[in-house]
A and B are shown apart, each in its own frame.
Chain A
Amino acid sequence: MDNIVDYLKEQRNQEWRDEIRKNIKVKDRTQKIRVLMNEEEPNIRNKNNNEVNTGLTEEQALLEAQRCIDCPTPTCITGCPVGINIPKFIKKIEIGDFLGAASVLKETNTLPAVCGRVCPQEKQCEAQCFYTLKLKKPPVAIGHLERFAADYEQNSGKMSIPEVATQNNIKVAAIGAGPASLAWAADMARFGYDVTVFEALHEIGGVLKYGIPEFRLPNSVVDIEIESMKKMGVKFITNFIVGKTASFDDLRERGFEAFFVGSGAGLPRFMNIPGENYIGIFSSNEYLTRVNLMNAANDEYDTPVISGKNVAVIGGGNTAMDSVRTAKRLGADKAMIIYRRSITEMPARIEEVKHAQEEGIEFLNLNNPLEYYADENGRVNRMKVQKMELGDPDESGRRSPVPIVGSEYYIDVDTVIVSVGVSPNPLIPSSLKDLDVTRWGTIVVNTETMQSSIPDIFAGGDIVRGGATVILAMGDGRKAASGMHKYIKSKKEI
């Protein structure tokens, strides 16, 4: 850790940083009010697919950047899973060097335009900001500034391509093209490897494409980042399922020397209550995939989707918010969240809950589904729900929901989206007999190197964590890249 601290100090001591710090007194910086993200009007945006957050203007970004006091020991960085040099990129914004800010982001973060949008900054960097910790004031809007710099670069047409080392002709592969693999691939390309990413679906991006809706993360934003990875030399092969289309042994024969498994948490959970297989009841994965990946809501595309007038979404996570807001946009009169705990325990980001509320989503908190009913064609038309109250905290630390006996009642529904979590995708673990997996099906790894029980196989993201965030997956990808780099170097020296 010492050398990183020294490195940050040395960077902070550069002349331009000194100068910019002196421009405005710390006291004046801390008097400024945190910027508010610009947003589309709730009653307009809930009828279209446009991005809800429209970004900061240059003026807003400059003012917000001035709030950062450029701490001697910046705690914000400790909250960032990929270790972005946060003060440096913010000071670049303050001096008006927006492209410079973007290239600072890219030193450690492959997908800044994505992270600026979907990272839970309020739980990470911003939770560790000096303002939050010491001043008890709203933190510097690090996330908004990250997005500003990344968007500026994307729109400038002057995307900087990170420098890559001389090609070492050692072939390495990732399985799955989601955030974990993309972060891994960018680092491996930088180290000079011949990098291939295999993807089962027909699109690159994983959950960024099939899961997160356009109104929160436009596909075009993801595509620009992927294009710049291609320019770094990363190869992408779609429609290829490692373990099925070809085995790991086949790929070893084709010269691949190490693998990174970032295959994600691809198995939706259901509640196993009566009637859950009636028509009109989907997993959030299916509903979002139809709409986001397959364009089902667009008449010109062949994939259909059922999206009715009374839509109940079961769950309280970000995916539940994405689903219910999508249903509203597809024309639901009533789009409801049914969640068994209270709003305080909700795992979704505060921003997503706020946006959903503004858009007219109804929240039936402390309610739990018990059974579904259908018409003669097997189409869901009603559900039985039970009211809950909060009991003692459970192992998650949240107060546990306790059913209120006799409180059952019925709600008319024509579409239900079950969003109660995912399990790890079994395809990879089941194709590797010697791979150590937990009883939940996640891959066991050394948490420092991300190496699995099979030495040439590394893993990260949801296939290891069982269901987490984009940025934690990316952090894993980076760790795995450095672990794999060391592994290959040591193997070659022998």
Chain B
Amino acid sequence: MNRIIKKEFFSDKVAKIVVEAPDIAKSRKAGHFVIIRVDEKGERIPLTIAGADIQKGTIDLVVQEVGVSSSKLLNLNEGDYILDVVGPLGKATHIDKVGTVLAAGGGVGIAPLLPIVEAFKAAGNRVLTVLAARNKDLIILEDEMRMHSDELIVMTDDGSYGRKGLVTQGMEEFINKEKIDVAVAIGPAIMMKFAALTTKKYNIHTLASLNTIMVDGTGMCGACRVTVGGETKFVCVDGPEFDADKIDFDEMLYRLGAYKSQEAEAYQKHLDSIN
């Protein structure tokens, strides 16, 4: 049982929740995730850790409502408990002084990108960041990102904030301006796919952090498998970060849709029951 200390909405459907988890707060590193189960009937879902406070013994999770589990989670209030939180899981991001890092975050993918940007900056790198989303409401954690970035560009699909255009346009702007040593892209699978295609053109080594369907999160079930460089890998124990150039994003995209119709139906039922 883990208590929710704070809940802060970034927009209608996106919120940050601060959860008591002292052991995880202490042992987590950039790139790690947790698995949570909201209640007795809930499913186990992976959420990347967006930050932690060792003194307070808390971790930050950023959640977008997309279905039953995320809706249940966002319906919990400060002082309520999440039934199960386990982690930190996955391999931590390999942080080194590499020179200049290009960080691209799309939508709620900005949240897991934050600790990585923070760590690269702290390791003495120059960090160039692109934040992208459909519209202004979905751009999150801009101030925190700015704090740890040397330069930052905001892109929105509809032009409601920052510049109008796709994440890849922002990335290319930086790439054309200076030499990039490593790129990191986190966001929806389709965004990462195109981010990887963009950096590939310029031969920039790029990491993508994947958020797939999982059950146990410890290597036991294989629900999270992806093909990387022609080999099957488990995101939970081999990842979540992989060489973006080698990821079969098309396979990942259809695997993410494995339960699409069941999920949509369950979500509608859930919404009807709470409204």
Task: State A270–B223 Cα separation when bound (angstroms).
Answer: 12
Q: Is the interface of A mostly helix, strand, loop or mixed?
A: loop
Residues of A close to B215: CB separation below 8 A: 286, 289-290, 294, 303
Docked CA distance A266–B37 (Å): 20
Among A240, A280, A285, A295, which residue has the most Cβ atoms of chain B within 10 A?
A285
Q: Does B122 contact A (CB under 8 A)?
A: no
Within 8 Å CB of B225, what residues of A? Answer: 270, 277
How many chain B residues have a CB neighbour from A under 8 Å? 42
Ordered by A's residue number, 12 sampled pairs between the chains whose C-beta atoms are within 8 Å are: A201-B86, A201-B216, A245-B23, A246-B26, A268-B220, A268-B222, A285-B220, A286-B215, A289-B215, A302-B72, A304-B263, A427-B237
The number of inter-chain residue pairs (CB within 8 angstroms) is: 119
Q: Residues of A contacting B234 with CB < 8 Å?
A: 267
Q: Which residues of A contact B (CB under 8 A)?
A: 200-202, 210, 238-241, 244-247, 250, 266-268, 270, 272, 276-280, 282-283, 285-286, 289-290, 294-295, 300-304, 306, 377-378, 425-427
A374 nearest CB neighbor, chain B only: B254
Known contacts: A277-B232, A285-B221, A427-B219. The answer to whether A245 contacts B86 by CB under 8 A is yes
A247 and B37 alpha carbons, distance in the complex (Å):
23
Q: Which one of A268, A270, A280 has the greatest number of beta carbons of chain B within 10 Å? A: A268
Q: Please tell me if the beta carbons of B219 and A239 are within 8 angstroms of each other in the complex.
A: no
List 9 other contacts, CB 8 Å, given A277-B251, A378-B251, A378-B255. Answer: A202-B83, A210-B216, A241-B86, A270-B225, A276-B232, A283-B222, A304-B43, A304-B263, A306-B258
Is A283 a contact of B221 with CB atoms below 8 Å?
Answer: yes
Known: A202-B83, A285-B222, A294-B43. Is A246-B27 also a contact (CB below 8 A)? yes
CB-based contact A282/B219 at 8 Å: no
CB distance from B61 to the nearest CB of A (A): 15
Contacting pair B255 A289 (CB below 8 A): no
Question: Which residues of chain A are within 8 angstroms of B23 by Cβ–Cβ distance?
Answer: 240, 245-246
Q: Is the CB of A302 within 8 A of B68?
A: yes
Q: Which 4 A-B pairs have the closest CB atoms?
A: A378-B254, A286-B221, A239-B86, A303-B43
Q: Could you tell me if A244 and B216 are in contact, using CB atoms closer than 8 angstroms?
A: no
- In the complex, which residues 194-234 of chain B have their Cβ closer than 8 Å to any Cβ of chain A? 215-216, 218-223, 225-227, 232, 234
Chain A residues closer than 8 Å to B24, beta-carbon distance: 245
Residue from B41, B218, B227, B263 in contact with A277 in the complex, judged by beta carbons closer than 8 Å? B227
Known: A304-B263, A378-B255, A426-B237. A245 touches B87 (CB 8 A): yes
- Tell me if B63 counts as interface (CB < 8 A to partner A): no
CB-based contact A279/B88 at 8 Å: no
Which residues from chain A contact B226 at a C-beta distance below 8 Å? 277
The answer for the CA separation of A289 and B251 in the assembled complex, in Å, is 23
Given A268-B222, A377-B257, A378-B251: A289 and B216 interface contact (C-beta under 8 Å): yes
